[in-house]
Amino acid sequence: MNTDEFEKKLKAHSESILSSFDFRLDIETEEFKMADKKKKFTGTLIIAAALLFTLTGTTFAAYKYLTAKEVADELDKPELAEYFTNDNYTAKTVTDGDYRAVLLGIASGRELNGLNLDTELQGGTYAVVAVEKADGTDMTQDDCSNICVSPLIEGFKPWQVNIATMHGGYTEKISDGIMYRIIECDDIGCFADRKLYIGVSDRTFISGSTYNFDEESGKISESPDYDGTNILFELKLEPELADKDKAEKYIKSLRNEGIVTDG
């Protein structure tokens, strides 16, 4: 294959990749035209390399993992799959410690009101997460049992308000060595005026060492002293989901249960 033929094939491959991300880059624009064929060929290689680099970052998540809809389908939650059909959540992978995680989708409260949900699915928060080993080996059931995926709310201690105390649960499966989990818990949409997170850690229960909590600001952050995986994905819920009265009543109920002691 000569240089011209290789360049044409590489250009076609680059354009094919670009088209899958809903934007186009015309390699033949003036910006990329070069009189010297050698320079033009080098420019094409640079573009292709940039595309491959992009695939190894955030957009690689969409390329490698199942979508939130596919996970919901495989875990027999067709109503949630219906919601995630049009979900445009931007997946972002984060590696920390022995694990790599990605938040594939989030749905909460009134966002789901338009769906024909079973009663047990109404009024809650659902998040779809993928977790795999950073070294590329397959996840096992033992690995999965040590992974905690939980919502966290700014202003409340992570070890007090989390999936265990928010009447939560989850379903999961391992596919191609990757754990896919859908968590569900009480609706956190009413707290949309605060910073909300999905935490992923390699400890069964959240403790005071997993995440830092600032008593004055209520800010939650990853503890740099934690020797393991303690990832935080910041959520982006619609601000209109916030409901201060509902949020206050919910926290009051947790106080009455002795779960929240302050904040």
pTM across the whole model: 0.74
Indicate if the pLDDT at residue 17 is higher than 80. Answer: no
Asked whether the beta carbons of 235 and 198 are under 8 A apart, the reply is yes
Region 217-229: mean pLDDT is 94
Rounded Cα distance between 167 and 254, Å, is 11
**pLDDT tens-digit series, residues 246-262:** 999 999 999 998 888 87
Altogether, the residues listed in the chain come to a count of 263
Region 111-125: mean pLDDT is 58
Span of 58-72, 82-96, 139-153 with lowest mean pLDDT: 58-72
Query: What percentage of the chain exceeds 70 in pLDDT?
Result: 68
Indicate if the pLDDT at residue 36 is higher than 60. Answer: no
| Cα dihedral across residues 131, 137, 140, 143: positive or negative | negative
Q: What is the pLDDT, as a whole number, of residue 199?
A: 96
For the chain, domain boundaries: 3-56, 65-256
Region 85-91: mean pLDDT is 67
Indicate if the pLDDT at residue 118 is higher than 90. Answer: no
Q: What is the pLDDT, as a whole number, of residue 84?
A: 85
- Give Dmax over CA atoms of the chain in angstroms: 76
Question: Residue 46 — pLDDT band, cuts 50, 70, 90?
Answer: very low
Indicate if the pLDDT at residue 188 is higher than 60. Answer: yes
Most confident residue range from 12-26, 120-134, 248-262: 248-262
Region 230-237: mean pLDDT is 90
Rounded Cα distance between 230 and 210, Å, is 6
Q: What is the pLDDT, as a whole number, of residue 92?
A: 82
Q: What is the pLDDT, as a whole number, of residue 63?
A: 59
Region 71-87: mean pLDDT is 85
Question: Residue 25 — pLDDT band, cuts 50, 70, 90?
Answer: very low
Region 172-182: mean pLDDT is 97
Q: What is the pLDDT, as a whole number, of residue 73?
A: 94
Q: What is the pLDDT, as a whole number, of residue 227?
A: 92
Rounded Cα distance between 159 and 157, Å, is 5
